[in-house]
Structure 1
Amino acid sequence: MVQSEKFPSALINSVETPSFTDLSRWRLKVEHGAQTWHYLQSDEELKQWPQTRWDKYFLGVPFDSQKLPHPKTPLESARNGFEFYKELQTEDGHWAGEYGGPMFLIPGLIITYYITGTPVPESMRVEIIRYLLNRANKDDGGWGIHIEGISTVFGTALNYVVLRILGLAADHPAMIKARAKLHQLGGATAIPAWGKFWLSAMSCYEWEGLNPVPPELWALPQMLPLCPGNWWVHTRMVYLPMGYIYARRLNPEPTDFILQLREELYTEPYDGIHWDSQRNNISEADLFLPHTKIMDFLNGALTYYEMIPAKMNYLRQYALDLTIEQIRMEDENTFFLDIGPVNKALNWLVVFYHYGKDSREFREHVKRNADFMWMGPEGMMMNGTNGSQLWDTTFIAQACSEARLVEHPAYQPSMLKILEFLEDCQIKRNVPDYKKCYRHVSKGAWPFSTRDQGYTVSDCTAEGLKGTIALQKLKGMPKLISQERLRDAVDVLLTMQNADGGFASYECIRGPKWLEWLNPAEVFGDIMTEYSYPECTTAVLTGLSAFKAIHPDYRRAEIERVSGRALQYIKRTQREDGSWFGSWAICFTYAAMFSLGSLASIGEYYENSDHARRGCEFLISKQKEDGGWGETYKSCETGVYVQHEKSQVVNTAFAILALLDAKYPHQEPLRRAVKLIMDRQQENGEWLQESIEGVFNKNCMISYPNYKFSFTIWALGRYATVWGDKQIRN
């Protein structure tokens, strides 16, 4: 029987675009790194909580910014950059910012709001609408997997559903245009696996059209490679709650609204679709990594397994009990933030079905949703984690150190606030039963975002260590982080080296590479197990080196042995053309910055090292006519350097830092690159946003807007140190 629709915003069904919020009423609250946006309703609230400079900057609201003296030298430009950037430092010491880009994050959250019957706050509702309308591709009205990508079924179908849930009618002009693009792509039957799951969870797709997601894998002992505890942590944390919902076939009773969506999303009548044949139907626009034949065979076998009656399948109930326990530990250990936004929404949905809306667990999930939402000039997006707080903040600490800005008396208060944040953010404990929930040790580590989120990350720990050491060396700076806690960080890093000598992201490689044959996602690459990365390896190597310089006797032999193996990994992964492939930002320039830094740490430079020389020559071969460097995200997708039509200040800064580390002997290419960065700087010291900077899993881009400050200041400072702070421009 069809139910009447009760979800408030789905009943709006408007062909008119709603009025958006008053940007002057938005405020960013920060507390121990947590970032939450609040919309003030009353004039009294506005008086009590005035808008800050960083509020206005992030919202794109004009504010008075000082016109600074025209910089002629690199250090003058670096100082101007920090003069502007320090005004954006939040009161708890970190630099906030969006961490958006992926276009599949909001749908999981809003679909879960809908299924659980949790009303979307009005200010959030209209600003998500604004964001999605602004981010629709102008030519066809669809959405891609990320903000710069072509329209796909994954992005278009899911964001279409979001806008319908939030109140736009099927006859709204944006919906008409998006629906036409979706149908041109073949309709929602061709959506990739994660999209099939979310539509099934909302009763807009049938479970028979989804490849199995068996929770029984969680019952396997970890000695077996197929045990999810051996998978890459983000992958296992997504498929954990997916398996629970899939196994129980949980979705709402159809409403008249859901029936409308069933008509709108497909190119043929819903009841006439042969769902079983849709399991491997993936649009060419979406498909990045096709299934292997082994994967298709296993999916076929598991489909027969799913036919066993549930009441006879005692293994399934045992697996579901294990699943609930793993979800409970993930929620509690991260204070209901979870490792990222995808499993955050999924865990919230499981909590709804398992514990109910009146449970503490449900309320805690609702409370932490705000940590992921970011308000910007285009509307409200969902961040790729609860932020990039630690990561961005420790980079500017190191940049200021190299640019000698840390010594400037006027900047001492800012440096102290950074150190206070680094101290607060360091993880002080191992999570309870960390081995049971397949977590790595965390006491002494730094996370990517906040201590609450609490996941150990190798390069974040190393960069946090380096930032702390750089600041605590300053005269008059308190030693907020003790020698014992610095040793804790080193102890963590020394547990994370892989057999190949490199370092991965969250934990050591646990599974064999052939697990990638079983990648079910279709739209991402290298997601099934951890991998060593030049970026992570260099961060650890240079972090250990910085520690050894101030505490030379602590675990010295181990540090030297680990460092030696790490350097061999860096050399071994260099390509024949001299390049290294970057996995966490775009792309070859980013990896070169780290890899040449590794070589420099042991005295290998352009003049005495074939590896360093070839790395430099590769970079120089990619320099553009204007003196800068620019890569598009296609470098990440294709594995081949793809020139951007325009130089990017971030890629240019990466290349400058790499070449200077390697002691590249020719000044002119570097001078031209520095001049480009200086020429792009605005009169108030800022650099404007250019193309997207980051990437994960080869096919999805993500924003790091703070890079245009930290790495430019860093590059300017290093150039001045190496070549002198001489006049670059008139």
Structure 2
Amino acid sequence: MTTRQLAERARTRAVGHLLSRQDAQGWWKGTFECNVTGDAEDLLLRQFLGIGDEKITHAASLYIRGEQREDGTWSTFYGGPGDLSTSIEAYVALRLAGDAPDEPHMAKAAAWIRAHGGIAASRVFTRIWLALFGWWKWEDLPALPPELMFLPKWFPLNIHHFASWSRQTIVSLSVVCAERPVRPAPFTLGELYPESQTSAPSAPRVPASHWTRFFTCLDKALHAYHKVAPGRLRRAAMSSVARWIMERQESDGCWGGLQVDATYALIALHLLGYRLEHPVMHAGLASLDAFAVWRQDGARMIEVSQSPVWDTSLAVNALADAGVRCDHPALISAADWMLGKQHARPGDWAVRRPRLDPGGWAFQFHNESNPDLDDTAEVILALRRLRHPDPPSADVTAHVVEMLACEGKRDDPRTRRGIAFLLAEQEASGAWFGRWGVNYLYGTGAVVPALTAAGLPAAHPAIRRAVTWLCSVQNEDGGWGEDVRSYRDERWAGQGTSTPSQTAWALLAVLAAGEGDSEAVERGVRWLVQAQHEDGTWEEPHFTGTGFPGDCSIRYHLYRQVFPLMALGRYLHQGRPGELPCKTTDVPHSPEP
């Protein structure tokens, strides 16, 4: 078979599989896989609230135990090195599940933790969890008074200076840090102290610098304030926090569609006197069940968030690229669902943008308060690909620029400013940094199609440098891959095992640059075709999504389906998204949903 014939067959199978994955309500959602800290903290929450469940504990321990590396550690991404804080939380969770410290897998983990500094070297959030059970001293943690609720929006470090997901966490933790609760610990953790320590460790030392000294002095002042805080002011602040938290509970009982935000909110409300039977607490606890993925082997994995809006917009764009007609029932159903998720009321963002009307999209099923730029842009791109009865860092900017170009706003001053930003952000290598996907392959795969859609010619020096870089990092097997470690070490940029999603990102860029007949595209398409299974799917154990660069990596289980399909569709059409015709016939043999 020719490469084109192979690509046609792969495209048809991928379309069929993706259509079969659509929910009856119109959305797509792949599993949102992160690391075991979400699972460990879920067990710690249940222990703290006294609602431990034997079945859940056993199932969670199966998953956590199964993710342990040969050296006894746990990583934050597939194939990555051991991470100290993640390993500590996983170890403690397994102790809660009944694993004894002298069992080989536990002894190996404890030895590694001790060798790398033990509990004292872990992140602040890990030490907060340990403090809840007396395994760390509250006095050695940063002070976070609830009175910060009263700081005006112009004052430094007020709550509106933080991103939406961290704001919710900070507000809830202000109660925890003020109350400093300690629940009776079911065991000690002496085996996690370095051998030179004989008692609970103290705060780690950090290198001195101007900012370190400033925040150290600020923290000392806040600790001193904690001892003399006026009772009446403290009570007023606690009441304000309680109201703030409850007002932001979503319809499903969660907070912002994030497991971590729901977890801290529940702890805060519990400390403020809300019993587990209270409707707010009951709904919040029930919402956590929605984050659980039960596997056939009996293991239970926690999704720290869910990505239906993002996944659905990507699936629509992939199917449209593949030639599925723009009025196909599956795509119209997806459009209806996405339109129903558009925000119609202001959220906390209105504090800083009071004149801005609502109208964006969030990431999750239930998040009515915190839309984001990336999802909003991708949804608009998807909706504009359809014939519907009713009429978004460098990667986010690229999505917005591409959307504006498809809206006929190539010459709009805002589009031109976006283009200027992208050109200025190009790395010396020719690549672009990817904030929300790993990493330079994601950024470059988003920026090049956006620039060409916005009118830059394929001969533009920036585009030629990008193509040269992509060809230089193509793997011997024809695919592309990039390790998560590129966020910390640029020597990993474009280096890694070939994956379906990352190969597709590279192809999207090279195709947009007019290189459809090049050897690089030929080899990349053939790799995608050969990696595809007979049922139209691709396998991808690697983490190619990003929550926080270098710290929180994500495995979007639908990425390995939508992006390869998108690339194959554009290869077969040899055109950019804005140039693809609106098809009026189905792809041959593509099933109706």
- 1:457 matched to 2:376: no
Distance change (3 Å), C-alpha of 1:170 and 1:71:
farther
**Deviation, structure 1 residue 333:** 7.3
Residue in structure 2 matched with residue 656 of structure 1 by the alignment: 507
Q: Which residue of 1 aligns with 2:433?
A: 581
Distance 1:647 1:340, change over 3 A: same
1:168 lines up with 2:99 in the alignment = yes
TM-fit CA distance, 1:619: 1.2
SS at match of 2:267: helix
Q: 1:697 aligns with which of 535, 544, 548?
A: 548
Q: Give the superposition deviation at 1:598.
A: 2.1
Letter in 2 for 1:430: P
Tell me how far apart the structure 1 counterparts of residues 221 and 331 of structure 2 sit (CA, whole Å): 61
Structure 1 residue 227 corresponds to structure 2 residue 158: yes
Does residue 403 (structure 1) correspond to residue 322 (structure 2)? The answer is yes
Shift of 1:229: 0.6
Instruction: State the alpha-carbon separation in 2 of the partners of residues 667 and 269 from structure 1.
Output: 61
1:294 alignment counterpart: 211
Per the TM alignment, residue 194 of structure 1 is displaced from its structure 2 partner at its CA by 0.9
Distance 1:315 1:297, change over 3 A: farther
Q: 2:33 aligns with which of 97, 100, 117?
A: 100
**Match among 346, 351, 354 for residue 430 of structure 1:** 346
Q: Gaps (5+ residues) in structure 1? A: 1-69, 282-289, 484-502, 504-532, 550-555, 725-730
The alpha-carbon deviation at position 294 of structure 1 amounts to 1.3
The question of 1:119 aligning with 2:52 is answered: yes
Q: Which of 373, 397, 406 is the matching residue for 1:537?
A: 397
Distance (Å, rounded) in 1 between the aligned partners of 2:357 and 2:99: 45
Kindly state the Cα deviation for residue 628 of structure 1 after the two structures are TM-superposed: 1.6
Partner of 1:329: 247
Q: Using the TM superposition, give the Cα deviation of residue 106 of structure 1 relative to its aligned residue in structure 2, in angstroms.
A: 2.1
Specify the code of the residue in structure 2 equivalent to 1:460.
D
The Cα shift of 1:591 comes to 0.6
CA deviations over 1:191-223 (Å, ceiling 9, x no partner): 211111111122221112213233343322211
Q: 1:206 aligns with which of 116, 121, 137?
A: 137
The one-letter amino acid paired with 1:307 is A
Q: Note if contact 1:649-1:712 (Cα within 8 Å) is conserved in structure 2.
A: yes
Separation (CA, whole Å) in 1 of partners of 2:373 and 2:222:
39
SS in 2 for 1:540: helix
- Give SS of 1:702's match: strand
2:243 corresponds to 1:392: no
- 2:192 aligned residue (261, 265, 269): 265
Inter-CA distance 613–164: structure 2 relative to 1 (3 Å threshold)? same
Unaligned runs of 5+ in 2: 577-593
Matched with 2:485 is 634
The 3 A distance-change label for structure 1 pair 440 and 262 is: farther
Question: Is the 1:586–1:694 contact (alpha carbons within 8 Å) kept by the matching residues of 2?
Answer: yes
Structure 1 residue 184: deviation in Å?
2.6
**Structure 1 pair 314/636, CA: closer, same or farther in 2 (3 Å)?**
same
8 Å CA contact retained: 2:482, 2:502: yes
Question: Residue 119 of structure 2 contacts residue 201 of structure 2 at CA under 8 Å; is this kept in 1?
Answer: no
Cα distance in structure 1, aligned partners of 2:7 and 2:369: 38
- Counterpart of 1:443 in structure 2 is 358
Q: 1:36-89, CA deviations, whole angstroms, 9 ceiling, x for partnerless residues? A: xxxxxxxxxxxxxxxxxxxxxxxxxxxxxxxxxx99332221111122232222
1:131 pairs, out of 36, 60, 63, with 63
Structure 1 pair 215/311, CA: closer, same or farther in 2 (3 Å)? closer
Instruction: State how 1:42-81 maps to structure 2 within 5 Å.
Output: 72-81=5-14
1:456 Cα deviation from its structure 2 partner: 0.4
Query: Which residue is 2:238 aligned to?
Result: 320
User: Aligned partners of 1:439 and 1:134: how far apart in 2?
Assistant: 48
How much has 1:178 moved relative to structure 2? 2.2
The residue matched to 1:564 in structure 2 has which SS?
A: helix
Name whichever of 670-679 and 327-336 sits farther off: 327-336
State the match for 1:348 in structure 2.
266
| 1:412-434 deviation per Cα after TM superposition (whole angstroms, max 9, x unaligned) | 34334323322333333334x76
Contact (CA 8 Å) 1:695, 1:702: kept in 2 or not? yes
Amino acid at match of 2:224: M
Residues 320/676 of structure 1: CA separation in 2 closer, same or farther (3 Å cut):
same
What TM-score do the two structures reach when normalised by structure 2?
A: 0.88
Matches within 5 A, 1:466-505: 466-471=381-386, 473=387, 478-479=388-389, 482-483=390-391
Aligned to 1:238, what secondary structure does the other structure show?
helix
Instruction: Work out the percentage of aligned pairs sharing the same amino acid.
Output: 22
Give the one of 280, 283, 307 matched to 2:224. Answer: 307
C-alpha distance 448-439 of structure 1, shift in aligned 2 (>3 A): farther
- Structure 1 residues 321, 201: CA separation in 2 closer, same or farther (over 3 Å shift)? same
The 1:664/1:204 distance shift into structure 2, 3 A limit, reads same
> Matches of 1:612 and 1:638 in 2, distance apart?
24
Tell me the CA shift for residue 439 of structure 1.
9.8
Shift of 1:697: 2.2
Secondary structure at the aligned position of 2:301 is classed as strand
Question: Aligned letter for 1:632?
Answer: D
What code does the residue aligned with 1:370 have?
A: D
Change (3 A) 1:218 1:639: farther
Task: Spell out, residue by residue over 1:650-676, the C-alpha distance to the aligned partner (whole angstroms, 9 max, x if none).
Answer: 111101101111223752211111111
Which residue of structure 1 aligns with residue 564 of structure 2? 712
Cα 1:334–1:435 change in 2 (3 A) is farther
Note if contact 2:293-2:303 (Cα within 8 Å) is conserved in structure 1: yes
Contact 1:83 1:685 in 2 (8 A): yes
**Which residue is 2:24 aligned to?**
91
Alignment match, 1:370 = 289
Seen in structure 2, the aligned counterparts of structure 1 residues 82 and 452 have a Cα distance that, compared at 3 Å, is same
Mean Cα displacement is larger for which, 226-235 or 625-634? 226-235
Instruction: Give the TM-score of the pair, scaled to structure 1.
Output: 0.72
Partner Cα distance (2:334, 2:283) in 1? 29
- 3-state secondary structure, aligned to 2:540: coil
- C-alpha distance after superposition, 1:480-515 (max 9, x if no partner): xx34xxxxxxxxxxxxxxxxxxx6xxxxxxxxxxxx
Contact kept? 2:480, 2:496, Cα under 8 Å? no
C-alpha distance in 2 between matches for 1:562 and 1:470: 22
Q: 1:405 to 1:655 in 2, by over 3 A?
A: same
Q: In 2, are the aligned partners of 1:131 and 1:381 still within 8 Å (CA)? A: yes
Tell me the CA shift for residue 446 of structure 1.
1.7
CA 1:148 to 1:644, structure 2 compared with 1: closer, same or farther past 3 Å?
same
Alpha-carbon separation, structure 1, partners of 2:332 and 2:466:
37
Task: Answer yes or no: is the 8 Å Cα contact 1:101–1:147 preserved in 2.
Answer: no
Q: Is the 8 A contact 2:78 2:542 kept in 1?
A: no
Change in CA separation of 1:459 and 1:205 when aligned onto 2, cut-off 3 Å: same
Q: Distance in 2 between matches of 1:563 and 1:352?
A: 48
User: Against the structure 1 CA distance between its residues 665 and 359, is the aligned structure 2 distance closer, same or farther, given a 3 Å change threshold?
Assistant: closer
Cα distance change on mapping 1:106 and 1:296 into 2, 3 Å: farther
Aligned partners of 1:464 and 1:208: how far apart in 2? 47
Aligned to 1:722: 574
- 1:214–1:312: structure 2 CA closer, same or farther, 3 Å change rule? closer
**Deviation of 1:304 (Å):** 4.1
Aligned in 2, Cα 1:538/1:461: closer, same or farther, shift over 3 Å? Answer: same
CA distance in 1, matches of 2:57, 2:254: 22
Match of residue 592 from structure 1: 444
Any idea what the Cα deviations from partners look like across 1:253-308, whole Å, max 9, x if unmatched? x25x1xx2333433469983463xx2447xxxxxxxx8854134422442243234
The secondary structure found in structure 2 opposite 1:675 is helix
- Map of 1:613 onto structure 2: 464
C-alpha separation between the residues in 1 aligned to 2:143 and 2:553?
A: 28
Give the structure 2 partner of residue 570 of structure 1.
422
In 2: Cα distance, 1:118 partner to 1:312 partner: 34
Cα RMSD (Å) of the superposition? 2.9
